[in-house]
């Protein structure tokens, strides 16, 4: 078993290394960047994403040689996501919000989580543009720059500010599903925002400035840290279709509380049924 002292040590080291790696983002934000694409024309990567991940992997493995890693850019280069084992594993998104980073839109973060025995123990999300660091340790609450955070007390979707991301809409086989979900939520909610970083969207729910965040098709590195920060802040995260949330295959409904999460999930299930009926009628 890992002791509380060991977890504290892992946490302090990871926090310092995250701040160090953030200097790479600060150096790059105003530069004109060479952009490469990965799975599609809209899936961007820069040398800064790779450098942040390299730095974190190298320095964390010097400190903790028996720890494992799951990182976006390494997985993308190797065309394989490592399997999650019981070993301590760092799950890292070096820049969540790369499209924002490329366009100098300041909603960007480094997302770092530590999982031990397949359980989330540490979550760190840092936005260097605003010097905002969200942190959580299992069982110890969540904070923003050292101050405790809580989700909002909103209990109805019709009184909610909701974050939805557009990238899910471009999977052609699912565009109708995604657009119908957008429409259904826009009709009900106070407002809808698209901030371009799933990790920050989770942190915003934890902090109480967004009430609901929904998106399917994410990866573990987008949500691992944010999932712990949100639940430790007192929020709820469930699978889109209402089941238990799996951070290794994330379909996300994150909400200030369970009532709001369930209302959103029910709306999505009803909306999907209508979309599927429409598809059947067309064929
Ligand atoms: C992206 C962001 C975005 C989400 C995308 C992710 P990246 O991560 O989290 O909000 O809509 O699906 O891929 O590519 O900037 O690390
Ligand atoms: Ca990324
Ligand atoms: Ca990401």
- The 10s digit of each residue's pLDDT in 11-59 is 999 999 999 999 999 999 888 788 888 888 888 889 999 999 999 999 9
Ligand 1 in reach of 49 Cβ (< 6 A): no
Nearest CA to ligand 1 atom 8: 96
Q: CATH 3.40.190.80 residue ranges in the chain?
A: 157-282
- Tens digits of per-residue pLDDT, 78-103? 999 999 999 999 999 999 999 999 99
Phi, psi of 101 (to 5 degrees): -60, -45
Residues of the chain with CATH 3.30.540.10: 4-147
Helix (H) or strand (E) holding 49: helix 47-63
For residue 97 and ligand 1, the question of a CB distance below 6 A is answered with yes
How far apart, in whole angstroms, are the C-alpha atoms of residue 103 and residue 108? Answer: 11
Which residues is 127 bridged to in the sheet?
A: 132
- The single residue of 49, 96, 121, 232 carrying the catalytic annotation is 96
Per-residue pLDDT at 187 exceeds 70: yes
Q: Which CATH number fits domain 157-282: 3.40.50.300, 3.30.390.10, 3.30.70.1380, 3.40.190.80?
A: 3.40.190.80
pLDDT tens digits for 228-258?
A: 999 999 999 999 999 999 999 999 999 999 9
Summarize pLDDT for 126-145 with one digit per residue, the tens. Answer: 999 999 999 999 999 999 99
Contacts of residue 268, Cβ cutoff 8 Å, sequence gap at least 6: 181, 184, 214, 240, 241, 253
Confidence of residue 283 (pLDDT cuts 50, 70, 90): confident
- Residue 212 pLDDT greater than 80, yes or no: yes
Provide the β-strand partners of residue 188: none
Whether ligand 1 lies within 6 angstroms of the CB of 165 is answered as yes
| Mean pLDDT of the 192-217 span | 97
User: CA–CA separation, 123 vs 11, rounded Å?
Assistant: 9
pLDDT, mean over the chain: 95
Does residue 37 have an active-site annotation?
Answer: no
Domain covering 4-147, topology: Fructose-1,6-Bisphosphatase; Chain A, domain 1 (3.30.540)
Does the pLDDT value for residue 171 go beyond 80?
no
For ligand 1, atom 2, the nearest C-alpha belongs to 197
pLDDT value for 34: 87
Locate the DSSP E strands across the chain.
36-37, 44-45, 68-71, 89-96, 109-116, 119-127, 132-137, 142-144, 147-148, 161-164, 191-193, 212-215, 236-239, 252-255
Question: How many other CB atoms are there within 10 angstroms of residue 139's CB atom?
Answer: 9
Is it the case that residue 170 has pLDDT exceeding 70? no
SS3 of 6, please?
helix
Task: Confirm whether 85 is a catalytic residue.
Answer: no
**How high is the pLDDT of residue 196?**
97
Question: Which carries the bigger pLDDT value, residue 43 or residue 200?
Answer: 200
pLDDT value at residue 21: 98
281 CA to centre of ligand 1 in angstroms? 34
Rounded-to-integer distance, Cα 156 and Cα 49, Å? 38
pLDDT value at 276 more than 70: yes
* Ligand 1 center to 69 CA (angstroms): 19
pLDDT at residue 195 above 90? yes
pLDDT of residue 166: 87
232, 113 Cβ separation under 8 angstroms: no
CB of 28 within 6 A of ligand 1: the answer is no
DSSP secondary structure letters along 142-181: EEETTEE--------GGG-EEEE-SGGGGSGGGHHHHHHH
State mean pLDDT over 162-176: 82
Mean pLDDT of 255-269: 98
């Amino acid at each position: 078993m890992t002791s509380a002292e060991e977890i504290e040590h892992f946490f302090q080291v990871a926090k310092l290394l995250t701040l160090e790696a953030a200097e790479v983002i600060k150096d790059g934000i105003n530069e004109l960047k060479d952009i490469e694409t990965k799975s599609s024309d809209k899936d961007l990567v820069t040398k800064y994403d790779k450098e942040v991940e390299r730095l974190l992997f190298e320095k964390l493995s010097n400190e903790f040689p028996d720890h494992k890693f799951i990182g976006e850019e390494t997985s993308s280069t190797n065309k394989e996501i490592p399997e999650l084992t019981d070993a301590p594993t760092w799950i890292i998104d070096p820049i969540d919000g790369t499209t924002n980073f490329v366009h100098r839109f300041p909603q960007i973060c480094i997302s770092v989580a530590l999982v031990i025995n397949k359980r989330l123990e540490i979550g760190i999300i840092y936005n260097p543009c605003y010097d905002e660091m969200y942190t959580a340790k299992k069982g110890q609450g969540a904070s923003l720059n050292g101050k405790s955070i809580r989700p909002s007390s909103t209990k109805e979707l019709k009184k909610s500010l909701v974050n939805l991301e557009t990238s899910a809409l471009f999977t052609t086989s699912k565009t109708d599903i995604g657009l119908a979900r957008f429409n259904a939520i826009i009709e009900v909610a106070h407002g809808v925002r698209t901030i371009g970083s799933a990790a920050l969207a989770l942190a915003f729910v934890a902090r109480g400035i967004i009430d609901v965040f929904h998106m399917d098709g994410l990866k573990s590195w987008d949500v691992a840290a944010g999932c712990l920060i949100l639940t430790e802040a007192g929020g709820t995260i469930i699978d889109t279709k209402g089941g238990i949330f799996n951070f290794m295959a994330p379909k996300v409904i994150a909400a200030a509380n369970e009532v709001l999460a369930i209302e959103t999930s029910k709306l999505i299930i009803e909306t999907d049924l209508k979309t599927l009926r429409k598809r059947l009628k067309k064929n």
